Each structure stands twice: as C-alpha cells, then as structure tokens.
Amino acid sequence: MFQYNLRTLLLVMLAACLLTWLFFVLPGEVGVAVLMCLFAVVPSAVIAGILYFRGIPQAFAIGCVPPLMIFTCLLVFDGPPWRFGPSASFEVKFMILVCLLVVAGGGAASASVRWLAAWSRQPQLETKSFPGLPLDLGQPASTAHGSAAVSSTPER
C-alpha cells in the first residue's frame, strides 16, 4: 500500500536520526542552543520562500508567517517561558520543537488551501471557451468561425 522511493526513505531516516541526536545525545544546553539557532534561521528561509517561490511553495511560506510572528512577539514581549538548566532541558527542547511544528503546520494549512483552490478551478478552466479557438472541438477551425468549408476530398 505504501510505496516510497529510496530518497524519501533516506530523508525520513535522516530526520529521525537528527531528532534523536538532538534530544538524547547532545547535552541539554547545547541542544537548546542548536534549536534556538534553527529557530533564528527560519524567518530568513520564510522570507526567501515568499520572494522566490510561486504557487504552492509560496503559499506554504506565507502560511508560516502568522505563527512565526506570534511566537516572536511572545519571546520579545514576555521573554522565554523557560529557565535554562540541566533538569529542564528536555522540556525546553520539546517546547521549541512544538513551536517549529506549529509554524510548519500553518504553512501546510496554507499550502493545502492553495492546492484546493487550484484543484476546484480545474473543471472551469477545461470548459471555458477562449477567443480564437473553435467552439466545438469536433469541428475544424474554418467551419467553427463561419468561413467557407474547405473539403479535403478532391471534386470529380
């Protein structure tokens, strides 16, 4: 039922290995610093996605902006909701990861709405008549526009 190509399988395994390394191998403060650096790079990637992509990837980048702005405002005005320490490092890592997942979820929701809008317009585009094209696709272009019919068989 599920079929994956090798590239997808290796990318999923790489993501699982990186998350395991980040959460369980790195010391607490180092893992938090790595996640905070990742959280600092995300706005640049979102802005580049808005500017340089088109279609569904651009919609994904635009959808990432509202949750990212909310988390940024919470961090700036309220300060971080955690205290750094070796005992609470796993919880801090988990909170940062949840914030990143919410940002990705906002982007995925926006991309799915963009895909749904393009998918729902598809039948309209197929049935719409364009100027200069024959009205009936079964007729030759010369008869559809009212000009004299040209027969392809020679007269005897």
| pLDDT given at position 92 | 81
Mean pLDDT by runs of 10 across the 156 residues of the chain is: 82 91 83 84 91 91 91 80 67 84 92 88 64 56 53 58
| pLDDT given at position 74 | 83
| pLDDT given at position 89 | 77
| pLDDT given at position 130 | 58
37 found inside a domain:
yes
Domain total for the chain? 1
76 found inside a domain:
yes
15, 18, 19, 130 from 7: Cα distances, Å: 12, 16, 18, 42
CA 156, CA 101: separation in Å to the nearest integer? 77
State the pTM of this model. 0.64
| pLDDT given at position 108 | 92
Range(s) of the domain holding residue 70:
24-119
Could you tell me which residues come within 8 angstroms of residue 105 by beta carbon, excluding any fewer than 6 positions away? 67
Beta strands per DSSP E along the chain: none
CA 20, CA 13: separation in Å to the nearest integer? 11
138 found inside a domain:
no
